[in-house]
Structure 1
Amino acid sequence: MKVVTDTARCVGAGQCVLTEPAVFDQSDDDGTVVVLVEHVEGERLASVEEAVDMCPSQAISLTAD
């Protein structure tokens, strides 16, 4: 699955980074989400799905590769 983010919607809460720090980071400039790994699968996919669900601004989604 491909990780898609909308930085315009991101409020910089950081829940994604706390959930899956190997996939997400935050911009030093404004705190918005930065994707470190664009394609995920396996166990990592489960934690990214959790990050999608936890995002307060719904700025993260997954699409089929």
Structure 2
Amino acid sequence: MTIDKKIRVLAGTMVLLSLCLAHFHSHWWLLLTAFVGVNLIQSAFTGFCPPEMLLRKLESRRTSTRS
């Protein structure tokens, strides 16, 4: 799976998780949905995506331990 697809899966999961938490726990969890949306928009314009950097680090760490 490419890094772009992993980012989309992560963003979608975070949105669905925050919607479930907002429904069953507290409406303040909707702030997480807003944060994910703002991050997606800013990354489209700037190319800077913190989750992408984190996933790349995790992948490099995983591949280096296999060797």
TM-score (norm 1): 0.26
- When you count helix as a share of all residues, which structure comes out higher? 2
TM-score for both structures, normalised by structure 2:
0.26
Higher relative contact order (CA 8 A, sep 6+): 1
Which has the larger share of strand? 1
